[in-house]
Amino acid sequence: MPISCKYPSPNAPPVGLETLTLKARVRVHLTASFSAVCPVSKTVDEYTAEIEYEGDGKYVELGSLRRYLDGFKGQEWFHEELCEKIAEDLGKALGVPVKVKLKSNYLGITVEVEKLYSAQADGT
């Protein structure tokens, strides 16, 4: 029997992600921790997210990223779909390819999922 998740529509706009326009053109690597709920066991999954992108004058505002990630607290997500959602939301907000890697530990099993979002591959 398929398991259904209770999470916002994958097409919902990114909530609260803000960007800054700067003259700098640098590669950005961010690491952040946050949590969501496992839709199978209903336990809290603790995540470490690694986010990488090449800034093209537009950068994610870190406070808004913190609030965005904290917004997943209490929501049910599978690792794979959550990784895809975060990469897509950031990629759309920044307009550049974004790589997201989520790391978690489930019942003693280390889980790492990775998604490279590119607007060109998405057709947007």
Residue 6 is assigned to a structural domain of this protein = no
Q: Is the pLDDT of residue 73 over 90?
A: yes
Residue 8 is assigned to a structural domain of this protein = no
State the residue for tokens 């099993």. 109
Instruction: Give the sign of the dihedral formed by CA 21, CA 25, CA 26, CA 29.
Output: positive
Residue 2 is assigned to a structural domain of this protein = no
Residue 87 is assigned to a structural domain of this protein = yes
Distances (CA, A) of 62 to 24, 66, 118: 16, 6, 21
pLDDT tens, residue by residue, 1-50 = 444 444 444 444 456 799 999 999 999 999 999 999 999 999 999 999 99
Give me the amino acid identity at 66: R
Per-residue pLDDT, averaged over 99-105, amounts to 97
CATH number of domain containing 69: 3.30.1130.10
Residue 9 is assigned to a structural domain of this protein = no
- pTM (predicted TM-score): 0.85
Residue 40 is assigned to a structural domain of this protein = yes
Q: Which two tokens stand for residue 6?
A: 């209770």
Residue 3 is assigned to a structural domain of this protein = no
Q: What is the count of structural domains for the chain?
A: 1
